[in-house]
Amino acid sequence: KAGVTQTPRYLIKTRGQQVTLSCSPISGHRSVSWYQQTPGQGLQFLFEYFSETQRNKGNFPGRFSGRQFSNSRSEMNVSTLELGDSALYLCASSFQGLGETQYFGPGTRLLVL
């Protein structure tokens, strides 16, 4: 079975721009979660989607948003980028999002200049 895939793997943007990251979960998995990893704040939960609905949301500003499509693929969007948004963005999938193991993708490294 193919693992979680994320595109693009690397991205460079400038302040004020917006960015969209994509995540394709493991086949059959319906829950997709997003995490941000920075040296200062560590790994932080952004949000979780299940059946095209946001089920949980972390403590991030409204500039961070996401969506999930009917095939369970998910996108996250960051608008009006700030320097502090530079991070590794990790996507994880699980079967139903009922506490079972989440499997992570390789991440997207975003650099904001």
Interface ranges with another protein (CB under 8 A): 31, 33, 35, 42-45, 48, 55-56, 58, 88, 90, 92, 94, 97-99, 101-107, 109
Least distance (Å) between residue 105 CB and another protein: 7
* Cis upstream peptide for 8 (omega within 30°): yes
By beta-carbon proximity to another protein, the closer residue of 81 and 92 is: 92
By beta-carbon proximity to another protein, the closer residue of 35 and 64 is: 35
- Geometric angle at alpha carbon 83, from 40 and 103, rounded to 5°: 55
Phi-psi region of 80 (alpha: psi -120 to 50; beta: other; left: phi over 0): left
- Give the residue carrying structure tokens 């999930």: 68
Phi-psi region of 28 (alpha: psi -120 to 50; beta: other; left: phi over 0): left
By beta-carbon proximity to another protein, the closer residue of 16 and 25 is: 25
By beta-carbon proximity to another protein, the closer residue of 50 and 112 is: 50
Least distance (Å) between residue 19 CB and another protein: 17
Query: Which residues on neighbouring strands pair with residue 54, listed in sequence order?
Result: 49
